[in-house]
Amino acid sequence: MKALITGVRGQLGGALVAAAPEGWTIIAADRAKLDLADASSVRARIITERPDVVLNAAAYTAVDRAESEEDLARAINAEAVAALVTALEETGGRLVQVSTDFVFDGTSPRAYQPGDTRNPLSAYGRTKAEGEQALRDQDLLLRTAWVYSAGGANFVRTMLRLMREREELRVVADQIGCPTWAPDLARTIWGLVTAGASGTFHHSDAGVASWYDFAVAIQEEALATGLLSRPIPVQPIATSDYPTPATRPAFSLLDCSATRALLDDGYTHWRANLRLMLEEEKALG
């Protein structure tokens, strides 16, 4: 079996390559080898390679910048998905599309289920929702949230840097969701692929957190690991105290029960995965 993985220089793309099951031929594509903003180049690459599965881990993820670059975000997050689907119609392959909690509006009274109605609040969310709409019944959609990994560009590493540089941090406490460690996300995606799953699934780590909760845990675990040498005060603030160009959902917890039931694998609490990531970060130096 042959899989083409996009976005291999990103956190998830790299984790997907690392977690590839035995017996799969992997074509690792970064932006230089596959520019998702160029639909004709996307089609040509699929027709040439003829993969059985495309794992689309690439995306335009600059949430705030997307408010002023919505056309570019749409080209990568939606039009490229449609181009992949069209090409795979010709070759007989299927698409695994990775999407986001930002397709929801944050008003649900419970964790979002895969079949819940999309109502994105931002350009980023809108373009990812449009990408979802391009999928066929035989394709696989996996939504996730708050992804991080050692060595990547993410909230954990930003917090570590700021905690070293500043005397105090203020972090939003009224946006609720759950972090996702990229290696576990990659294992779930491969599990669904090898199980032949299609349709919509969710994956995040177990548990619930605000960004403030996450930041506090990062400091505590980093102090225990030796990545930080001193604690600083971390103050909770409201979203209104930290205005951004893009509106974010206040509550975007994902219901992952269908994923876990299909794979029968359980899943790990976000704090335990954070600890593992920080050990990896320390090993990277």
* pLDDT tens profile 60-102: 999 999 999 999 999 999 999 999 999 999 999 999 999 999 9
Task: Establish if 124 belongs to a structural domain.
Answer: yes
Secondary structure (3-state) at 47: helix
Work out the number of other CB atoms within 10 angstroms of the CB of residue 36: 23
> What is the pLDDT, as a whole number, of residue 45?
87
Which stretches in the chain have pLDDT values below 70?
none
CB 263 within 8 A of CB 191: yes
The CA R_g of the chain, rounded to the nearest whole Å, is: 19
User: What is the number of residues in the chain?
Assistant: 285
**Of 60, 124, 148, 267, which residue is the catalytic one?**
124
Q: Which contiguous run of DSSP H or E holds residue 124? A: helix 123-133
Strand order in the sheet with 25-29: 25-29, 2-6, 53-56, 94-100, 140-144, 199-202
Task: Establish if 108 belongs to a structural domain.
Answer: yes
Task: Establish if 139 belongs to a structural domain.
Answer: yes
Task: Establish if 184 belongs to a structural domain.
Answer: yes
> What is the pLDDT, as a whole number, of residue 66?
97
Integer CA distances (angstroms), 242 to 171, 173, 192, in order: 9, 11, 38
> What is the pLDDT, as a whole number, of residue 35?
80
Task: Establish if 156 belongs to a structural domain.
Answer: no
Task: Establish if 213 belongs to a structural domain.
Answer: no
- Domain extent at residue 58: 2-148+180-205+255-263
Catalytic, 60? Answer no
Task: Establish if 236 belongs to a structural domain.
Answer: no
Task: Establish if 279 belongs to a structural domain.
Answer: no
Q: Which contiguous run of DSSP H or E holds residue 116? A: none
pLDDT (tens digit, 9 = 90+) per residue, 98-119?
Answer: 999 999 999 999 999 999 999 9
**Which CATH number fits the domain that encloses residue 105?**
3.40.50.720
Q: SS3 string of 137-204?
A: CCCEEEEECCEECCCCCCHHHHHHHHHHHCCCEEEECCCEECCEEHHHHHHHHHHHHHCCCCEEEECC
Q: How many domains in the chain?
A: 1
> What is the pLDDT, as a whole number, of residue 29?
87
